[in-house]
Amino acid sequence: MSLKEGDPEHVRGYILYKLYWYLHSWVIPGKDPKRHYPLTDMKKGYPKQWWGRFDKEFKELRREGLVHIFSHIGGGEDHICAVKAEDAVVRGLVCINKYLASEKMPNLTIDDLFPKSQPKKR
């Protein structure tokens, strides 16, 4: 069964895809976030009629341990980043790839998200 816009899994896949692929926004557990993004801006790019579903899906992703949500020091606005731990990334990729399939886009792998660094030339 293919996902449709507004389906809970479609919204979650969009959120994770945006965090990992476009924003490169993640946190390694126990460390400070590499980048983070305001929750209010995460809805941008998704059809407006479904924006009301985002708050529930943010909470679900946090409950599943796939995202980290925190108050930003500067303005107290809540920010979000994906969790960069192997089990979270693997589970997140399942959700992302279901979203991508529904959008007729190619699947991603861990290597697509986090390419192995090239050795430094001396």
Please state the domain extents for the chain: 8-106
What's the start-to-end Cα distance of the chain, in Å?
52
Mean pLDDT, to the nearest integer, of 70-87?
87
pLDDT at 105 over 60: yes
Helix (H) or strand (E) holding 68: strand 67-71
> Mind listing the pLDDT tens digit for each residue in 30-78?
888 878 889 999 999 999 999 999 999 999 999 999 999 998 777 778 9
Q: Quick one: which of 54, 51, 52 has its CA closest to 62?
A: 54
Q: What is the CATH number of domain 8-106?
A: 1.10.10.10
pLDDT at 119 over 70: no
pLDDT at 25 over 70: yes
Q: Is 2:105 a contact under the CB 8 Å cutoff?
A: no
This prediction has a pTM of 0.89
Residue 9 tokens read as 């899994």
Residue 117 pLDDT level (bands cut at 50, 70, 90) = low
Q: What is the mean pLDDT of the chain?
A: 90
Percent of the chain with pLDDT over 70: 93
Residue 1 pLDDT level (bands cut at 50, 70, 90) = low
